[in-house]
Structure 1
Amino acid sequence: MNPQSPITEHLPPEVLSWLYAYQREHQLASLEAAIVDIVCKFYTQANHLSEQVANLERRVHALSREVIYLRQQLSENYDRLREQLAAVRLSHSGILHNLRDRVEALESEVFSGHPSAADAEADS
């Protein structure tokens, strides 16, 4: 193994062992080069990570706006459908009232003794 430098002398043996393996795997000249490589990769990933977080924040913001828009649309559509349903009920109410009046008129004709067409034929 390489002699320890001031950078690596305080590291636990497991970390040193891992650094030596990293150095060999990446064919680096020294442990210091391995540490520099690891730190640079960490900061590169950290910067990339902050970009990803920023992208996610933008997406969350866009989705939040879309949810607000959909809530507004839902409310507007609900109100419009409620108005249409009220109009249909009113229309049906008018039709039912008209039918009720006609049935009552027919009943009063039949039960009041007015001659019907069948009675008129029987009399002739």
Structure 2
Amino acid sequence: MRNIASTLFALGLLLPGAAWSQTTSSVLPVLTGAYAPAKGGCDAAAAAFIYVEDNAIGANKTAGKVLSVKRDGGSYVLEILWIEAGSDESDGDRDTVRIEVKDDRSFYFSNTASKKTLMQWCS
């Protein structure tokens, strides 16, 4: 009985660590999840959010299909096809996104339509 209780206690200590672990995107060396501008914080308008996934990047209701990634020092230049929800790839807009990685939870984001903005991890 004591061995069972000890085993359950040990497993209980391991689970919170597993819950806090987060995977790193294979597209960028940052954690997957939602990012918001550092100035506005995570309570900023939903349109300001950028979502970094395992192999993709998105913004609000727009999926970003990564067509190519080029590394330039500590920066990454991504060729993206933005596809709005409910649309197909033929309606997508091509864009060049530059991401300058600060650390595994933040990066500077800029593209053809926006200035360089520091994004912080929210989820």
TM-score range with shorter-chain normalisation? under 0.3
Greater helix share, structure number = 1
* TM score, norm. by length of structure 2: 0.24
Higher relative contact order structure (alpha carbons within 8 Å, sequence separation ≥ 6): 2
Greater strand share, structure number = 2
* TM score, norm. by length of structure 1: 0.24
